[in-house]
Amino acid sequence: MENLLNTEQMRAADAQTIDSAKISSLDLMEKAAGAFVSSFMSEFSEKYNSIAIYCGTGNNGGDGLSIARMLHDKGFQALDIKIVRFTEKSSADFIANLEALSSYKIPVREIRDAAELTEEPAVLLIDAMLGSGLNKPLSGKWEALVKKINFWNKKVIAVDMPTGFRAEGPLTADDCVVHAKLAITFQRPKINFLLPESAFFLGEHRVVDIGLDEAYIQSLDSPYKLIEKEDIACRLVKRDNFSHKGTYGHALMVAGSAETMGAALLSAEACLYSGAGLTTACIPEEGLTALNSRAPEIMALVRTGAQELDLNADKYTSLGIGPGLGTEANSLKLLTRIMRTYQKPMVLDADALTLIASNYELVQLIPEGSVLTPHMKEFDRLFGEHKSWWERLESGRDRAMTLGCTIVLKNRYTVIFLPDGTCLFNPTGSPAMATGGMGDVLTGIITSFIAQGYKPEDAAMLGVYLHGAIGQKTPDYVIPASDLLRKLPSTIAAYLT
Ligand SMILES: NC(=O)C1=CN([C@@H]2O[C@H](COP(=O)(O)OP(=O)(O)OC[C@H]3O[C@@H](n4cnc5c(N)ncnc54)[C@H](OP(=O)(O)O)[C@@H]3O)[C@@H](O)[C@H]2O)[C@@H](O)CC1
Ligand SMILES: [K+]
């Protein structure tokens, strides 16, 4: 798992690398610029295009000057440097890079006021004005310049981060930030790149390794971590030679109503396709024909109209509840009954979460170790309105610790809050997955992994990562949930080591 760092920690890692690796800060800047240029060239190789490089006078600007030199050496001819000199201060490495540029025939112009700029003829703009040194919101000359650049609506590639962007803390659409198509960022993504509000300002980000001291970075105390492929491989367990269906548990999925049987089918099938030894779907009578004809491997536990149910909790090794369950009185009765009877960790999703939100005394009945899988609206219904995703990060950590549960807050970079206060970001996923039924499948996968004996936290991590990995692999515009779940067996096998 990769530790995600805040700005202060990143600065410490920078200093530590300079110290331990006996590298000068200027050489580190050179490495950063080199890593930027390699990544940049993999996407923008048309050397005839005119590129304007806007540089501040701190180290982000120093990176920009070094990048200009390197692009020139790689054959990019139509370069144009603008130095934004709104302060007399400049960093030592900026000055050194400006000197290094004196033998190059790249036009350099100093800007002392945004009003000096009327237009920008370049096709592409590299933003090396401000990076992680930002210490307050932009105002005055900076604000005017950023507004002007955004008005030009150019293709902007940001060095490390867009000028004015806050690496951590709440973001709002009103923040004055350069709108960039891509940020090529150093060593680790900024935490805010992983939150949806970053989309106001940034299309996508790419992380490049600049050789910072990894051992030091990993030793720092950070609650925020990024899941890696190896975390999945080392947690997945192979199926034994002499194993049988009893080895892999019995998952019970309590889901569906007459109108929403699809949710029950998808979540129960996801249990089956991700390896539960036995799967039972607890469904209303109206859904029986659909279940029997679509998934003969799955057993049915039929609920009558009154939603009364005699549940033999010992029979099951995991229980998922919520997809398509409905929020009417009968569903509440059923949920309450199940929560009173089944005291092992369970997976709570969709309507189960909405019911808990409106009958908050049920929170007391959530068994410790359970996994809650809300999307943003369900999360806010449960834990109150939040003004920003940063606030959701803080309250998700808090709630997971108080409830002793894992909370999976679904999004492009799904966040998994663990009961010990750790906050895991999942890197896999794709906009092709933004379709109905996707959450039902995820609930099924997590329920299935718990049935097989994985710890609920691991089940959540494995489920979220593998679910996203399938979506990410599809070259198609969209992936329907039932297509995704059929790819579970081969995907899980591919991650087994
Ligand atoms: N981390 C790493 O490992 C590595 C980092 N590297 C690079 O260094 C970058 C960070 O460089 P940095 O620290 O010099 O800060 P930077 O972003 O250039 O800005 C500094 C200037 O901004 C000013 N300023 C701040 N806020 C302001 C505001 N609201 N409005 C107006 N001015 C404001 C501030 O002025 P001050 O407040 O100090 O008066 C100061 O003059 C980082 O993003 C990366 O590109 C790589 O080279 C190597 C490895
Ligand atoms: K920048």
Q: What is the pLDDT of residues 347-362, one digit of tens each?
A: 999 999 999 999 999 9
Domain boundary residue, one of 222, 245, 262: 222
Can you give the pLDDT at residue 306?
A: 60
Shortest-distance atom of ligand 1 to CA 130: 17
Examine the domain organization and report whether 269 and 192 are in the same domain. Answer: no
460 is in an annotated binding site: no
User: Is there a binding annotation on residue 209?
Assistant: no
**3-state SS, residue 247:** helix
- Which of 164, 197, 222 lies at the terminal end of a domain, its last residue? 222
Q: What is the ipTM of this complex?
A: 0.97
| Residue 200, CA distances (Å) to 174, 190, 409, 410 in order | 9, 15, 20, 19
**Each residue of 57-110: pLDDT tens digit?**
999 999 999 999 999 999 998 999 999 999 999 999 999 999 999 999 999 999
3-state secondary structure of 321: strand
Mark whether 238 and 208 lie in a shared domain.
Answer: no
Q: Report the relative pairing of strands 415-417 and 406-409 from DSSP bridges.
A: antiparallel
Same structural domain, 173 and 240: no
Residue to probe by mutation, ligand 1, list 5, 53, 59, 84, most atoms within 8 Å of CB: 59
Nearest residue (by CA) to ligand 1, atom 47, is: 29
Q: Which long-range contacts (CB under 8 A, 24 or more apart) does 234-243 make?
A: 234/497, 235/454, 235/458, 235/461, 235/462, 236/462, 236/492, 236/495, 236/496, 236/497, 237/454, 238/496, 239/275
Which atom of ligand 1 lies closest to the CA of 28? 48
The single-letter DSSP state of residue 107 is -
Q: How far is residue 281's CA from residue 267's CA, in Å, rounded to a whole number? A: 9
Neighbours of ion ligand 2 (CB under 5 A): 60, 127, 131, 158-159, 163
Residue 213 maps to which CATH number? 3.40.50.10260
Indicate whether residue 432 lines ligand 1 (CB < 6 A): no
Domain boundary among the residues 197, 222, 247 is at 222
Instruction: For ligand 1, say whether the CB of 468 is within 6 Å of any of its atoms.
Output: no
Q: What is the pLDDT of residue 72?
A: 97
pLDDT at 332: 95
Q: Is 160 annotated as a binding residue?
A: yes
What CATH number does the domain containing 375 carry? 3.40.1190.20
Q: How confident is the model at residue 425 (pLDDT cuts 50, 70, 90)?
A: very high
Based on the fold, state whether residues 184 and 276 are members of the same structural domain: no
Over residues 185-198, mean pLDDT = 98
Mean pLDDT of 164-168: 97
Measured by CA distance, the residue closest to atom 25 of ligand 1 is 134
Answer yes or no: do 267 and 282 share one domain.
yes
One domain for residues 244 and 126? no
- Tell me if 382 sits within 8 A of 408, measured CB to CB: no
In terms of domains, do 360 and 449 share one? yes
**Cβ of 387 less than 6 Å from ligand 1:** no
Least confident of 240-244, 276-280, 295-299: 240-244
| pTM score, whole prediction | 0.96
In terms of domains, do 247 and 385 share one? yes
Could you tell me if the CB of 60 is within 6 A of ligand 1?
yes
Phi, psi values for residue 376, rounded to 5°: -55, -45
323 lies in the same domain as 436:
yes
Same domain, 212 and 292: no
Domain shared by 246 and 340, yes or no: yes
The two three-digit tokens of residue 390, written as one number: 């940063």
| Ligand 1 neighbour 132 (Cβ under 6 A) | yes
Residue 59 CB–ligand 1 contact under 6 Å: yes
HSE-up of 243 (CA within 13 Å, CB side)? 14
Structural domains in the chain (count): 2
* 319: β partners: 252
pLDDT at 47 over 90: no
What is the token pair recorded at 329? 């009185």
Domain that holds residue 174: 2-222
What is the reported pLDDT for 305?
Answer: 66
* Residue 312 assigned ligand-binding role: no
Q: Does the annotation place 426 within a ligand binding site?
A: no
* Same domain? 23 vs 81: yes
